[in-house]
A and B are shown apart, each in its own frame.
Chain A
Amino acid sequence: MRWRPWLWLGLPLLGLAELGAHFYFAHSAPTSGDWDALTEALTPWDPKGALIAIAPNWAQPLARQSLGEEWMPLSMLGRADDDGYERAIEISFFGQHAQELGKWQELEQRRSGPFTLRLLRNPSPALARSRLLERVRPGQLEVFEGDEGDRAPCPFQSHAAVGGGDLFGQPTLPAARFACPSGEPFLVGVTTIDTDADFRPRRCIWAHPTPNGALTLIFRQVELGDRIVGHAGFPWFLSRDGAGTPVNLRLKFGTREVGFVKVEDKLGWTRFEWPTPGLTGTRGDFELIITSAVAAERRFCFTLETR
């Protein structure tokens, strides 16, 4: 065992190895030049309209900066789920992969600098016939505050003062909104909230239950498919302690009740699905009734689409 004392040399060698490893890791991530070169590399795949995922996800701001709004719009970043996308492009490095695309089929793969680019196909896309998120506008939506028989309209405002909670408060309350008589934050409009423990963005319809009874949203002439898929939740940062009362969402199609869901804080971004067999292709009004036993600080936000 005469070699064992020489193991002490391992300590200075460890120092040298650590120094080398430091230089390696400090230059391991893609450079700004690598990111800039991505646009050209991706153009043949026509990324507009595709789901673009970055792995590891911490690099997403760099992708947004280099690829721009057209390829990485808010509607894609804040999507309720991935079902509505037929194609996806995964931009990855460090051997990482976007977990949500794990079951998608790879059509093509190529390299661009340190990146591995993969064009993927959704094996079971579920395209929306109608998205309520895109119908939050006068002529397509009417909003009322109060219970049946005592409803007050929430008139549309196109240029209201934008509200926001900044560092500690609630999400941005948009300029285009259906403003209820109870005042802010009792309004209906489109915003983005953080959902779940990973603080993912979700673009959704802000529909804060009101203190004066139910909040009713009537979407005109919505085309039905064979099912309705929705998601709902609350801003995670403000609701994660689970102290809020649940919010109830009830959907009527004409006189028929199609579905009901109770949304709770601790569940995070909640998916729900209501089948509408035999109604595919028909059109009619959606009446959404939103209530909560205690309306205060119930920053409810949802999406709903027919498929």
Chain B
Amino acid sequence: MTEPRKSGALNALGLSLAYGAWLLWTAPKLGYARDEGFYFRAADSYAGWFERLFQNPADALTRIAVDAHFSANPEHPGLMKSLFALSRLWLCDRWHLVSLSGTAYRIPGMLMGMLAVFLIVIWGTHALSRRSGLIAGLLFIGLPRVFHHAHLACFDVPVTAVGLLCTYAWWRAVETRRFGVALAAGLAWGLMLDTKHNAWLMPPAFALHLLLVEGRALWAASWSERIRLLRPWWMLLLIGPIVLVALWPWLWFDTFERLKFWVQFHLGHEYYNMEFLGRTYHRPPMPLGYAWLMTLGTVPLTTLALMVVGVVVTIRRIFAWASKPGVEALRAPNRPVSVRPQDGFAHAVAVLQRERVNIELLWLLAMLLAYAPWLSPNTPIFGGTKHWMPAYPYLCLFAGLGFERLVERLRALTLEFPRLSRQLGWAVPLCVVAAPLVITWDSFPFGLSAYTPLVGGAPGAATLGLNRTFWGYTTLALRDELLVPERAGKVLYLHDTAPQAFRQYQLDGTLPAELRGALSIPASSLALYHHEPHMSRVEYQIWEAYGTTTPVALTTFHGVPVVWLYERP
């Protein structure tokens, strides 16, 4: 390994470990999201199968055993739920390394967040510079919504990380044209498929990338050469599904029927409610500006500005490369793609340019493809920002590229002022990462309520009518109120907190076992209320059932009410 690459790897490792430590430190203080509750119970079911597998493999591999354990939550693939299960089994139950089983379920998700940071720094270091790779990684860490989701035992950060791994492997496969790397890309896509259905978007992006990079070579090549050039793509399509089926035991039986269910579930997903600019959407047409405005409102502006610079640099570079005479020869399939001294300086420059175009074009396609579904008014918007989160690594890599260009320009400007140049050398990186990191730090534990200053922060977003919270994860914010001795033994209406998530609080000991969770308002004497406009009707039910409109406790984020508690007088 060369020295820069080695130090880049160390940066990547250091930064991802720091991110992991931050996530692990804060995780017990972050309430469980509604969907986590479902995945916890699915993971428990999976864990039962793994225990059977370790004790009696033949028994575990029967259809009865597989169906019994993997029928839980079949709408999402098995990889992460298997990891959640194994994490609980090993880290919590067996080795006692983690005291809270809820945190144990979450650790694989956190590891995926760390993987994303690691890959961003590695790739950024390779494509840009050590400094810019680090900045790209820091800017990713400084994404408040990503930080929130990176805690969760869910699939959104994992699919972002595995998607990045897949894209990285794809780039290596196209760049090196080696069989082993193409195989790795196929394996990575299989893992992505087995993480979440966002993976379905990758083959079109990759095909387009391959055509743009190797198009002329493909045109000129013989059929056997074409097959070799296209190898990364067909390896993807060949290996990916095999990995999906192999790692998702539910697909081992009635494979096509179950695949069909999986695909149809997501293509025909019901529309949940989501507030956007003061209006609650629950059916098409969805607002076409949703993804763009929510990105503006939740990704720090500094990051976005650097990203815009990076994208402009890339687009100019792509056009310059495409129109350059002599480059065509590089695309000939039999030419070596590595830089060798005997090929001369001009060839080396051309190869490196080609490599950069290859990488940046891929980043651009991967980023845009992640947003592509929201170009249709039929795409649901209920997931907030998490559904296009796979775009964010590339967004940050482009921000790294923008930062690289910024540093180059400032260095050129300050050539005659060495002292100023030195000062800018540390001040500029600090200036660009400070706001994203502080905003992210400050967003905890209300990540889904966090908005950037561009929309006026959380108060500005509430005034604009942007979604304040969802998934009922803020219950812990009222923990002190629920621990009041006089409230022990009372029945608590859980509202948007899933009973499974509430049960997990009790298993962890975060909430007392005597507190009884309920889904019925009339049967309760305490009631949680997590605010979303369409949930208002639930609050009105509480008013009528309890005979009061006054909350006994209320938690705010930057002055904006997020979750409150009613008590029957």
Question: Which residues of A are in contact with B by a Cβ distance under 8 Å?
Answer: 5-6, 8-9, 11-16, 18-19, 21-22, 24-32, 56, 58-59, 61-62, 64-65, 68-69, 72-74, 77-78, 94, 96, 161-167, 171-172, 174, 191-194, 197-201, 235-237, 240-241
Contact = CB atoms under 8 A, between A and B. Distances in A.
Contacts of B438: 19, 22
Q: Which 7 A-B pairs have the closest CB atoms?
A: A29-B559, A25-B457, A21-B453, A12-B431, A172-B544, A18-B435, A194-B537
Given A166-B538, A198-B533, A28 B413 contact: no
Interface stretch (B120-128, B276-284, B349-357): B276-284
A8 B409 contact: yes
Contact of B434 (A19, A161, A171): A19
27 contacts: A5-B413, A6-B413, A8-B413, A18-B301, A21-B453, A24-B453, A25-B457, A26-B457, A26-B458, A29-B559, A58-B463, A61-B531, A61-B554, A62-B561, A64-B551, A65-B550, A68-B550, A69-B548, A73-B549, A164-B541, A166-B493, A172-B540, A192-B543, A197-B279, A198-B278, A199-B534, A201-B540
A121 B305 CA distance: 49
A26 B404 CA distance: 31
Given A61-B564, A96-B463, A11 B453 contact: no
A235 B549 contact: no
Contacts of B134: none
Interface in B493-550: 493, 495-496, 519-522, 531, 533-534, 536-538, 540-541, 543-545, 548-550
B330 interface: no
Contacts of A241: 283
A200 B540 CA distance: 10
B306 interface: yes
B558 interface: yes
B131 to A, nearest CB: 14
B279 A94 contact: no
Given A162-B522, A171-B537, 6 more contacts: A11-B432, A15-B434, A29-B458, A166-B520, A172-B545, A194-B536
B346 interface: no
A25 B460 contact: yes
B462 interface: yes
Contacts of A200: 536
Contacts of A14: 301-302, 305
B459 interface: yes
B561 A58 contact: yes
B544 A16 contact: no
Interface residues of B, number: 66
A28 B406 contact: no
Contacts of A163: 522
B99 interface: no
Interface string B163-207: 000000000000000000000000000000000000000000000
Nearest to B433: A15
Contacts of B280: 197, 199
A22 B521 contact: no
B554 A15 contact: no
B309 interface: yes
Nearest to A189: B544
Given A8-B406, A58-B462, A58-B561, A171 B457 contact: no
Nearest to B273: A237
B537 A199 contact: yes
Contacts of A69: 548-550
Contacts of A166: 493, 519-521, 538, 541
Interface in B272-295: 278-280, 282-283
Contacts of A174: 544
Contacts of B534: 199, 237
Nearest to B282: A240
Contacts of B433: 15
Contacts of A24: 453
Contact of B302 (A11, A165, A201): A11
Contacts of A30: 559
A13 B431 contact: yes
A9 B411 CA distance: 11
A275 B521 CA distance: 41
